[in-house]
Structure 1
Amino acid sequence: MARLFIDSRSAHQKIAAKLRRQITRGDLPAGTQLPSTPELIAEYEVAGTTVQKALQLLKEEHLLVGQPGRGVFVQGATQQSISPVSYMRPADAGQPYRWISEAQKRSQRGSVTLLSVEAVIPPYEVRQALGLEDEDQALLRKQVLSLDDEPTELTHSYYPLELAEGTAMMERRKIKGGTPTLLADLGYPPRSFVDEVSSEIPTEEEVVTLQLPKDMPVMMTFRVVYSDSASPIEASLLTKAAHRYRMRYAIDLP
């Protein structure tokens, strides 16, 4: 017999979840005015303080905004689709990293902040992907990618040391066109990649770096990039705020 399972979240969290889903999926577009507090009280059969707590959660997520004397309005738009394949190719000659050029196509301002560059013993799954032994090191380049000055993605990208040594990848500076362009120039163009996407509870670093609201999960992508002869040239952990973005994959079936 199936075990009876109930949603143990508080009432205001359940209300916020329902409204959030309507906002992120486009059923409540930006500019829409929410029903009044008395109307929400009647709809959900809860106290006024419960409604206010729910609305406050969504205000902290920048999905709602209160306008004194007018009411509460939807501020956030639908979730923005990110197409990973758009960023995998090396940049065209003289062009910036594709994160920046793709943002320009959407009339957004993309930027990259390099946090650190160091040789480290990478996490287990990265070692497995790159074919490293337990004590082997890889080069870590950690960055924050932003759109319109809003932190969007925290990236931990690992590269085999034999590829990185003696190149600009080892230096604590941004690379013109990004690492895909540099690797292609070195004879290691990206040919394919494998993504594993999951939703996870954020670490403190992720909460602070991505400025996440309380109790907001993150969308984690573990990506392995391969060059010719199916050789892995990069393994990355990419962390996004789950309520702001969705991943878009377009795949032709054989």
Structure 2
Amino acid sequence: MDRRVASIRDATGSRRGRRVDHGEREPWWQPATGCSRRGTATPEVKRAFGLSTDEAAVVRRRVMRVNGAPVELTDSWYPLRVAAGTALAEPRKIRGGAPTLLAELGHVPHSVTEEVGIRVATDRESHQLDLSTGESVLTLLRVSKASDGNPIEVSLMVMKGPRQIRYEIEVD
């Protein structure tokens, strides 16, 4: 079973995150308006999926909150070959979460690549995260691939700072 511990600390040192097993959902997320839809992917998502400029993908959007305040935006993208006709493409919560559904559909992540960066927030991100114009955000782009090397999910997390991220991964 995939077991991960992710800890994120805010400026006060408060920790959020806990051990997560497939099928569990973090208690601090909520779907964003229009949480699942077909759309034009961002350039980094298109690159990860190998999509042409006019190809669409399915995106599920969430806003993470701590004590009611927005702290993170997460967009999880799925190629149409994976999401079409499934709950991933529907604007509702998925029982057991997307990782459980992906596994049930035969799409089990074999490898994950993450890119972490810092950049100025877009206008939309500034508005959704209650940031001032010009403030920086921490970004984490996660590409999950099946054993055949094909990407099955690309998630872009945009976090307001300051944050500290710590990973602990059990290796079997």
TM over 0.5, yes or no? Answer: yes
Give the Cα separation in 2 of the matches to 1:204 and 1:178.
29
CA-atom RMSD, angstroms?
2.6
Letter of the 1:78 counterpart: G
SS in 1 for 2:116: strand
Partner residue of 1:77? 12
Q: Does 1:114 align with 2:46?
A: no
Is the contact made by 2:79 and 2:152 (CA closer than 8 Å) also made in structure 1?
yes
With over 3 angstroms needed to count, the CA separation of the structure-2 counterparts of 1:213 and 1:79, relative to structure 1, is farther
The correspondence for 1:206, drawn from 122, 125, 129, is 125
Whether contact under 8 Å (1:225, 1:235) holds in the other structure is yes
For the residues of structure 2 that align with 1:203 and 1:79, how far apart are their CA atoms? 26
Q: Give runs of aligned pairs for residues 212-227 of structure 1, distance below 5 A.
A: 212-213=131-132, 215-227=134-146
How far is 1:219 from its partner?
0.3
Describe the shift of the 1:111–1:143 C-alpha distance in structure 2 as closer, same or farther (beyond 3 A).
closer
The amino acid that maps onto 1:77 is T
TM-score of the aligned structures, taking structure 2 as reference length: 0.81
What is the CA–CA distance in structure 1 between the aligned matches of 2:141 and 2:55, rounded to whole Å?
20
For 2:125, what is the secondary structure of its paired residue? helix
> Does residue 1:90 correspond to 2:22, yes or no?
yes
What is aligned with 2:164?
A: 246
Question: How big is the shift at 1:166?
Answer: 1.0
Larger radius of gyration: 1
Q: 1-side partners of 2:76 and 2:87: how far apart?
A: 15
Say which of 39, 53, 61 aligns to 1:134.
53
Shift of 1:126: 1.0
In structure 2, distance between residues paired with 1:170 and 1:114: 14
Conservation of the 8 A alpha-carbon contact between 2:109 and 2:146: yes
1:215 Cα deviation after fit? 4.5
Question: Residue 188 of structure 1 aligns to a residue in which SS?
Answer: coil
CA positional deviation for 1:81? 6.5
Q: Distance in 2 between matches of 1:173 and 1:252?
A: 31
Unaligned runs of 5+ in 2: 1-8
1:113 CA displacement: 2.2
Counterpart in 2 of 1:48?
none
Task: Compare the two structures and name the one with the higher strand fraction.
Answer: 2
Contact 1:81–1:246 (CA under 8 A) maintained in structure 2: no
Identity %: 33
Higher relative CO (CA 8 A, sep ≥ 6), structure 1 or 2?
A: 2
